Amino acid sequence: MNPTLAPAAPDTPETLPVQPIGKVVAVTSGKGGVGKTFVSANLAAALAKRGLRVLVLDADLGLANLDVVLNLYPKLTLHDVFTGKATLDEAILPAPGGFSVLLAGSGMVEYSRLTPEVRGEFLRVVHSLVPRFDVIVLDTGAGISDVVLFAVSLASEVLMVATPEPTSLTDAYATIKVLVGQQQRDRIRLIVNQTTRAGSGVAITHQLQQVLDRFVVGSLGRPFTLSHLGDIPADPEVRQAVMKRQLLMQSLPGCPAATALTQIARTLAEKFASKPG
Amino acid sequence: MPGFTALTSSSPDSLVDLATLQLDDARALLEHDAQNGDREAGESATQYLQRVINGLCDLSLKDPLTGLGNRRHFHGALSRAIETVARSGDSVLLLLLDIDHFKSINDTHGHLAGDQVLRALSACLARCVRPVDTVARYGGEEFAVILPHCRPAFGRTVAERIRASVAALAIDIAPLQSISATLSIGGAYAPEWVRSTPELWIERADQQLYRAKTEGRNRVCIEQPRELAVSAEEKGLLFSQLELDELALPDMAPARVNT
């Protein structure tokens, strides 16, 4: 990632290190099932409500379920774009929340490994999306697989979703450790989902930062900040919306979880407003 | 060559008439490799032929310049390692090693010096690993090492030892003239309990080698093992200050944190 180091080995452009792209936000997590896709979709809807042109890209290539969350089953997907069967325009769909989506499609299982080809196709798609949207949300997989790390490396903002359970926090911590070490990140933003009391996200962020300072940041020789982006309170309405395959931001925009997401979108939109695309 | 014709026809254990076989080339190849190409006293025709065949098989797997296994040998060993890993879940590390700026060694000191560097490094690699490990010359200035039974905690140590040993080497290329060379090393573990393919595994190690090159050479990059490593110490600190009701699980006693 260090731009001063010229690539030493001869290689195709597809395998060269990539720079984070200003408009790209990655939503990731240490462990699956913490509400990553729920956050991606509803955050996109909340950003769209603020007047931004938003696209959510299903970047969990092997285990994508954005289609399930949005209840969209298109004929043409990212898979068809990768294989040249569809153009980008054919595969981009309007989602219920006023934003656009590019769904992975079932054929994506074969892309669950990051080959130079997948990497190149992925880069090509993201770069062609950049001029057309204000924000591109990458809904990535969990953990530290090659595909996840690559998708995250494209993002200028990384949103780590965790629930307050010990396993989720441990995996979030481990993933942050890898991202900090491998991608020279100086900031990751934490969203704590399904909190049961006020202030727990702040306490959790503070605690993670302390452990990171002690075990990771000390050996880096540069600062790293885990910022608390927001808490999404445990809310029975969320479960209902998910079961009905509806976007919370649409069906119940006034419920506590939706209010929290609106606030998170506001904070995030400010970051993007203050930074050139 | 002399001597065996007399034995052949009288040898009762073989239907092969050695005198009718064109063995000169095979014999020359074996002699060139410091193996005895002649039939030994008391050796039956079959035994002799078997020894010639074994010798040729050995030769076909060996890199003539360095004496290490060649690419063919490496691929055989890698395929066997994949089978072992798939059935046993053994932890096997593949290292790809590439001499830094080898072309400039050749350009500056000549190709004979380059060959000398290859030989010296090969001998050094062979000294750095265990008998159970496979060291091979993979390509021009590229080597491969397969390390079976190598726990993730030890992989980096072994690779670092190789890197440091090579970097410390003074390679004589002419009387009173010695040079040094460094290696970039990339490594990847076989996915445990999974049948990988040689191509995928090599590609992953190669990506790490590429990283080692781009990050400045003379260094080791090993693919992060897939399990998320968080020490008990880190977990302890992670949860020590958090009040239990911050966490969603009300029964999370400290004793369960370190599991």
**pLDDT tens string A158-213:** 999 999 998 899 989 999 988 887 787 899 999 999 999 989 999 999 999 999 99
Q: Is the pLDDT of residue B186 over 60?
A: yes
User: Which ranges of chain A does DSSP label H, i.e. alpha helix?
Assistant: 36-49, 66-70, 78-82, 88-91, 116-129, 146-153, 166-183, 200-215, 236-243, 248-251, 256-273
Distance CA B219, CA B183 (A): 7
Q: What was the pLDDT predicted at B88?
A: 72
DSSP for A38-86 reads HHHHHHHHHHHHTT--EEEEE---SS--HHHHHT---SS-HHHHHTTSS
**A251-271 pLDDT, tens per residue?**
999 999 999 999 999 999 988
Give the angle B175-B181-B184 at the CA atoms, nearest 5°. Answer: 165
Q: Is the pLDDT of residue B152 over 50?
A: yes
Work out the angle at residue B73's Cα, subtended by the Cα atoms of residues B70 and B77, and round it to the nearest 5 degrees: 135
Q: Do A174 and B210 touch (CB under 8 A)?
A: no
Q: What is the pLDDT of residue A141?
A: 83
Quick check: A166 and B234 CB within 8 A? Answer: no
- pTM value is 0.59
Instruction: Please state the rounded mean pLDDT for residues A70-88.
Output: 89
- B31 catalytic? Reply is no
pLDDT beyond 90 at B146: yes
Residue B182: name the closest of B102, B259, B86 by CA.
B102
Please tell me the total number of residues recorded for chain B in this structure. Answer: 259
- Any chain A CB within 8 A of the CB of B53? no
**Which residues of chain A does B216 touch, with a Cβ-Cβ cutoff of 8 Å?**
5
Residues of B in contact with A115 (CB under 8 A): 203
Rounded alpha-carbon distances, angstroms, from residue B233 to A77, A209, A211, A264: 45, 15, 10, 33
Q: Is B245 on the interface with A (CB under 8 A)?
A: yes
From the CA of B207, how many Å to the nearest CA of chain A? 9
Q: Is the pLDDT of residue B193 over 60?
A: no
| Long-range contacts formed by B23-31: CB under 8 A, 24+ apart | B23/B52, B26/B52, B26/B55, B26/B56, B27/B1, B27/B52, B29/B55, B29/B56, B29/B59, B30/B55, B30/B56, B30/B59
- Mean pLDDT over B221-233 rounds to 74
Cross-chain Cβ contact B239/A204 below 8 Å: no
Q: Considering only CA atoms, which of B157, B155, B141, B145 is closest in space to residue B217?
A: B141
Query: Which ipTM value was assigned to this complex?
Result: 0.76
Q: How confident is the model over B31-43, as a mean pLDDT?
A: 89
Interface residue B244 vs chain A (CB under 8 A): no
Lowest mean pLDDT among A262-276, B94-108, B212-226: A262-276
Beta strand residue intervals within chain B, DSSP E: 93-99, 134-137, 142-147, 171-174, 177-179, 183-189, 220-222
**Amino acid symbol at A79:** H
**Using one digit for the tens of pLDDT, what is the confidence trace for A90-137?**
999 999 999 999 998 766 666 666 777 888 889 999 999 999 999 999
Using one digit for the tens of pLDDT, what is the confidence trace for B232-257?
788 888 887 776 556 654 444 343 33
Q: What percent of chain A has a predicted confidence (pLDDT) above 90?
A: 54
Hey, are the CB atoms on A166 and B224 less than 8 Å from each other?
no
Asked if residues B84 and B194 have their Cβ atoms less than 8 Å apart, the reply is no
Cβ pair A200:B203 closer than 8 A: no
